[in-house]
Structure 1
Amino acid sequence: MHAFCDRSPGFNCQFPYVTYAPQGHGNRAVDPVIVAGAGPIGLTLALALARQDVPVVLFDETTGGDEPRLARTVVLRPDTAALLERLGCRATAGARPWTGWRTLRRRQLVRHVPLVPGPLFGAPPPAATEDGDGREGAPRDGVARDGSPRDGATRDGSPRGGEPEAPVSSPLHLPQHELTRALRATLAAIGDEDLVRIIPGTRVETVEQDARGVSVRTRGAQATWWRGSHLVGCDGPRSTVRKQLGVRFPGRTAVERHAVAALRADLPWPGEAVLHRSPPWRSIDAEVTARPLPHGVWRIDWLLPPGRDLVTPDALMVRVRDTLAGWCEETAIPYELLDTGVHTVHHRLARRWRVGRAFLAGDAAHLHGALGTQGLEEGLRDVGNLAWKLSLAWHHGASDALLDSYQAERRTAVAARLRTADQALPLVRAAGGWRAVRRTVLPGGTRGHDALLTDGHLGHGPLGAPPAYGRSPLAPAAPPEGSVTVGTPTGGPVADVRVTAPDGAVVRLWERLGRELLVVLVAPGTGVWDRRHWMRAGLMPRLAAAVSALPMRTELLVAEEYPGAPAHTVLLVRPDGHLAAALSGVRPAELYACADAARGGDTARGAEEHRDAEATARR
């Protein structure tokens, strides 16, 4: 359905909207959210909003075709893979997680980090038996043939000066075009143009705002004016939305450059990723990374020296041949070259991520990727943070505190990631850098430069771990009475434990994220009792009454255990999976205050509402 109005004499402007009557808006029609840019971030945001019954108009500069590029890939950690799974995107269905991560220095194995499958992935195949030189039958994990430790490793194979690495969750590596295609297919399967409308061959030209919404003029296949409740610019590094908002995008250009090749070959570490520092081959630069893709394909990255020298096809082929020969100790290992390219890493951060009713996400808001960090994955975290807040604003209205919290949380988290990478780069890349890193106070630096580098690739440490919003504006001004300490810090991402829903379904906690607040009661022993008994016993009736009185839609769940949480702990979890509060027992007033803060409400105004909530719970 469309409406027409005159913005100026003799000019018709088209304002597409969906007739909706959500709670809190009476019977009036509400304009859709406009998303500019149909890359992985824009597609994911459109899908996340549609799953919450928010209508979306998505501007796609292309005509919907996606060029297959195996040299352009994305790494997903368990939290971002879980986001895609919740949205119904099956991009991860055919992919396999890495089974291990090997770090080599010249021809010596420094360490081997075992990886464990995340909650979404199956069991990994058996680990390889070759050592860092790729020689069959050689002892593995940093121990030489005579039983002595190799250079850089202790006798048990762990890095010198530290304990053996604990297993970490396995990342998932897949071509970016496969992710894009899966997202498009999922959106197409919705089959409701009143909910999701993709406009191909169209891009933003002009942005105007007022107190009630956003007007966007486009050019291309549909050059006209559009009306939306909010606008999100997911239109990449050269974002027109960002320029129209007058937002600066400072930073550094060409922080790192990599030559990239995707090829099919039989490497000596099936299923494992490899970081090789200072390889002994004259044609190879300071660092080589190999990461497995599905179907026996590998992506290999060579760190290029500083400068803008062109990488010729002949020079790239020399790198491929010498690297494969060095790893496999053969002069002519068979391989099939599938794709090549040069990847340039820039570090930039937009000054503002929200201007009125307009927001920035993904590459339009930040660029980074040095030392193994993943800009696209941070863009997916932007989506997880923003989607539920826009949904709340669209359906019920939202305070400025809630909408401002997107910039406060996400920009702070990405800025910390950029700052850590910028501090580490001159130390890690310099000659003798690992010794310099060990002398610094850089977080994680005492573990050596190899360990710091793998943090970004594996998704842990200061370069790779999912962010915690410890100083979020959505947290209460002071810790509520009865707060307890659990294994997750306030503002951190919750553990994916098994939970039981009121209908008796036993699921993973992350599966319930996205639409509403979650209240999780930690109640050991409930698994051995019939649900109909414990739902009417102990704390449950009072807690259920307190949950029903909260100012935002909330689901009540029960967990047998949660890391670091004593029995009868009550966890309040935000829709994006970050812990809002951990309370000891049922405390209706404190629970209400934390829920009100999580939705950006005024916690000071809640005294009377708190008393009403507590009275309701007691009844």
Structure 2
Amino acid sequence: MDPVIVVGAGPVGLALSLSLAQQGVPSVVLDESTGDEDPRPARTVVLRPDTAAMAERLGCATIRDDGAHWSGWRSMRRKQDVRRLPLRDRPESVMDGSPAEDAAPSPLHIPQHALTRGLRTAVAAQRLITLAAGSHVDTLEQDADGVAVHTRGPEGTWWRGSHVVGCDGARSTVRKLLDIRFPGRTAVERHAVATLRAELPWPGEAVLHRQPPWRSGGAEITARPLPDETWRLDWLLPPSGELVTPDTLVARVRDTLAGWCGETPPYDLLDTGVYTVHHRLARRWRMDRAFLAGDAAHLLGALGTQGLDEGLRDADNLAWKLAHVWHNGPSEALLDSYQSERRTSIAARLRAADQALPSLRGGNILRNRLPGAARGHDALLTDGHLGKGPLGAPPVYTHSPLTPEYATAQTLVGTAVGAPVADVRVTLPDGTSALLRDRLGQGRLLVMLVAPGTGVWDRRHWQSAGVMPRLAAAVSALPARAELLVAEAYPGAPAHAVLLVRPDGHLVAAFAGVWPAELYEAADTARGGTSAATPSDRTADVN
């Protein structure tokens, strides 16, 4: 079968190709550039715990080497602290079966060029990925059996693939060739940006300072740490289109450092720029065998929302569905669910930002002066930056077409159906221990039994006792590949609960015990229903 064609070698395109390779699917990545990206320290990205874990799972070593987890979050207004939250660097890791309550998980802050470099290094080690540099797409054709993509060059090249995914940015050629509209709002926010090395009063903490009391502070300043005492500072610019010259930006830097430190400390200015936020959403994300992902499908970024974060979630969502179809045969319901789930999620995020912008950015003076308004605004902005609430929380696919109908055998656990599962420690079939999140992204469903006490029993005893033999038989009979895991505990789950988890980590259903028929039906729904190929017809995994 032909490989999947990925157009664009930014973080989203590289992550998609790596995720496909982990699931045994070859891909061709068409990179318009030569692959030599100039480092831009002012261009950084913030990854939420789930997307940072995804990048690490894909083999991106720079996540650990060049990224920084924040030790805390500090909000200030004028001259006063509004709130301070401690953060922990290992998100949602549950070593003893119960989540830590003392601190929220920290995002990861990393220069985008470092993230891209790490993903490129991982791609170079994958024999299932072909990276074609200097490949500019100018033609895209589809037929019943696949897609054909032509790239410009001295000789011109036609590439044949099973599907094509446009990960080629806001000016996506793939989107234009598919004639898909990209409506939305231009210049929702503008920020002056500087990356510098200096000692600030809050080492390791991210700071949001609203209405700072010095003249050039503007309405809002954000300071987010990077490794080696390096910081990225963002100043929210007025909507009037204020011209930012090098001299005015240096003045902002000096005034801000003096305002925070009492006097301007020594600093090393590494990079500067102006960042403009647009909000756009493609009308369609799928046309037959062609898909859009990342900035080609959506633009967002106001109020702490993260566009690259959502682009990586696009890749995670689409990869396992393409892999299932590549190995098992066509499933229109499964492929359609990509647009249904991801576009709906992004639309809700954009809607939440649009609704919050008028009050947060000074639309109603009377409302802003109401008691508690400032703290309410601070909480909303904090949630956006830390990946919580309507502006930042991971998506929940409650109304997904892959969600099975409720059955009496199901039970409630601490995770809602369609939401990402908590990262508990599990025991694998070979008796080794791992975190649940490390078992994701391998193209198979996960079936997890909650069995208190198994940690102190020899595996040889509990594997053949109680409900385990019946559950193992039920898992082996499922209509899609699945892995059986055992956990000592799971938040909100009763003993002997059985959780069915998608390859991208979202909960399909939880059952009160072993119910083979109901488990089979839920797994069949999660894979989009019966495929054209039966389980015995599956293509063997490519190693």
TM-score between the two structures when normalised by the length of structure 1: 0.82
Write out aligned runs for 1:248-397 (5 A): 248-330=181-263, 332-397=264-329
Residues 1:586 and 2:519 are matched in the alignment: no
Q: Which residue of 2 aligns with 1:486?
A: 413
Residues 1:508 and 2:479 are matched in the alignment: no
**CA separation of 1:435/1:336 partners in 2, compared to 1, >3 Å: closer, same or farther?**
same
Shifted more, 363-372 versus 70-79: the winner is: 70-79
Could you tell me which of 393, 402, 411 is aligned with 2:343? 411
What is the SS of the residue equivalent to 1:484?
coil
| Residues 215-266 of structure 1, C-alpha deviations (whole Å, 9 max, x = no match) | 1111136622211100000000000100111111000000000000000000
Shift of residue 395, structure 1, vs aligned partner: 1.1
Runs of 5+ consecutive residues of structure 1 not aligned to the other structure: 1-29, 123-164, 610-619
Give the Cα separation in 2 of the matches to 1:433 and 1:178: 42
Give the Cα separation in 1 of the matches to 2:469 and 2:366: 57
Give the Cα separation in 2 of the matches to 1:456 and 1:385: 22
Write out aligned runs for 1:23-42 (5 A): 30-42=1-13
Q: Which residue of 2 aligns with 1:169?
A: 105
Q: Which residue of 2 aligns with 1:595?
A: 523
Checking the alignment, whether the CA contact within 8 Å between 1:207 and 1:241 is kept in structure 2 is yes
Query: How many correspondences in the alignment?
Result: 526
Residues 1:454 and 2:382 are matched in the alignment: yes
**CA separation of 1:548/1:422 partners in 2, compared to 1, >3 Å: closer, same or farther?**
same
Q: Which residue of 2 aligns with 1:65?
A: 36
Shifted more, 278-287 versus 428-437: the winner is: 428-437
Shift of residue 333, structure 1, vs aligned partner: 1.3
Checking the alignment, whether the CA contact within 8 Å between 2:82 and 2:375 is kept in structure 1 is no
Residues 1:217 and 2:145 are matched in the alignment: no
| Residues 363-391 of structure 1, C-alpha deviations (whole Å, 9 max, x = no match) | 00000000011000100000110000011
**CA separation of 1:554/1:439 partners in 2, compared to 1, >3 Å: closer, same or farther?**
farther
Checking the alignment, whether the CA contact within 8 Å between 2:501 and 2:507 is kept in structure 1 is yes
Q: Identity of counterpart residues, as a percentage? A: 68
Q: Which residue of 1 aligns with 2:540?
A: none
Give the Cα separation in 1 of the matches to 2:365 and 2:471: 55
Shift of residue 434, structure 1, vs aligned partner: 9.6
Q: Which residue of 2 aligns with 1:422?
A: 354
Q: Structure 1 counterpart of 2:311, which letter? A: G
What is the SS of the residue equivalent to 1:403?
helix
The alignment's C-alpha RMSD in Å is 2.1
Residues 1:97 and 2:69 are matched in the alignment: yes
Give the Cα separation in 2 of the matches to 1:222 and 1:48: 31
| Residues 305-339 of structure 1, C-alpha deviations (whole Å, 9 max, x = no match) | 00223211111011000000000001x31100000
Shift of residue 594, structure 1, vs aligned partner: 0.2
Shift of residue 398, structure 1, vs aligned partner: 3.2
What is the SS of the residue equivalent to 1:31?
coil
Checking the alignment, whether the CA contact within 8 Å between 1:284 and 1:319 is kept in structure 2 is yes
Shift of residue 91, structure 1, vs aligned partner: 2.0
Q: 1 or 2 for the larger relative contact order (CA 8 Å, sep ≥6)?
A: 2
Q: Which residue of 2 aligns with 1:183?
A: 119
**CA separation of 1:253/1:180 partners in 2, compared to 1, >3 Å: closer, same or farther?**
same
Q: Which residue of 1 aligns with 2:458?
A: 530
Shift of residue 167, structure 1, vs aligned partner: 2.7
Shift of residue 438, structure 1, vs aligned partner: 7.6
**CA separation of 1:272/1:446 partners in 2, compared to 1, >3 Å: closer, same or farther?**
closer
| Residues 4-30 of structure 1, C-alpha deviations (whole Å, 9 max, x = no match) | xxxxxxxxxxxxxxxxxxxxxxxxxx1
Give the Cα separation in 1 of the matches to 2:107 and 2:288: 36
Q: Which residue of 2 aligns with 1:17?
A: none
Shift of residue 455, structure 1, vs aligned partner: 1.0
Q: Structure 2 counterpart of 1:118, which letter? A: R
Checking the alignment, whether the CA contact within 8 Å between 1:202 and 1:223 is kept in structure 2 is no
Q: Which residue of 2 aligns with 1:108?
A: 80
Give the Cα separation in 1 of the matches to 2:91 and 2:379: 24
Give the Cα separation in 1 of the matches to 2:77 and 2:233: 17
**CA separation of 1:500/1:98 partners in 2, compared to 1, >3 Å: closer, same or farther?**
same
Checking the alignment, whether the CA contact within 8 Å between 1:552 and 1:595 is kept in structure 2 is yes
Q: Structure 1 counterpart of 2:439, which letter? A: R
Checking the alignment, whether the CA contact within 8 Å between 1:438 and 1:448 is kept in structure 2 is no
Checking the alignment, whether the CA contact within 8 Å between 1:474 and 1:598 is kept in structure 2 is yes
Shifted more, 255-264 versus 100-109: the winner is: 100-109
Shifted more, 263-272 versus 165-174: the winner is: 165-174
Q: Which residue of 2 aligns with 1:229?
A: 162
Runs of 5+ consecutive residues of structure 2 not aligned to the other structure: 95-100, 536-543
Give the Cα separation in 2 of the matches to 1:435 and 1:579: 40
Shift of residue 340, structure 1, vs aligned partner: 0.2
Give the Cα separation in 2 of the matches to 1:199 and 1:237: 21
**CA separation of 1:561/1:93 partners in 2, compared to 1, >3 Å: closer, same or farther?**
same
**CA separation of 1:303/1:50 partners in 2, compared to 1, >3 Å: closer, same or farther?**
same
TM-score between the two structures when normalised by the length of structure 2: 0.94
Checking the alignment, whether the CA contact within 8 Å between 1:75 and 1:174 is kept in structure 2 is yes
Give the Cα separation in 1 of the matches to 2:8 and 2:370: 42
Q: Which residue of 2 aligns with 1:56?
A: 27
| Residues 114-167 of structure 1, C-alpha deviations (whole Å, 9 max, x = no match) | 112224999xxxxxxxxxxxxxxxxxxxxxxxxxxxxxxxxxxxxxxxxxx973
| Residues 412-457 of structure 1, C-alpha deviations (whole Å, 9 max, x = no match) | 11111000000000110116669459899xxxx9960011011111
Give the Cα separation in 1 of the matches to 2:522 and 2:516: 10
Give the Cα separation in 1 of the matches to 2:367 and 2:410: 42
Give the Cα separation in 1 of the matches to 2:173 and 2:288: 16
Checking the alignment, whether the CA contact within 8 Å between 2:93 and 2:435 is kept in structure 1 is no
Shifted more, 93-102 versus 487-496: the winner is: 93-102
Q: Structure 2 counterpart of 1:510, which letter? A: R
| Residues 272-303 of structure 1, C-alpha deviations (whole Å, 9 max, x = no match) | 00000001111221000000011110000000
Shift of residue 90, structure 1, vs aligned partner: 1.1
Structure 1 residue runs of 4+, over 3 Å off? 119-122, 431-440
Give the Cα separation in 2 of the matches to 1:452 and 1:416: 15
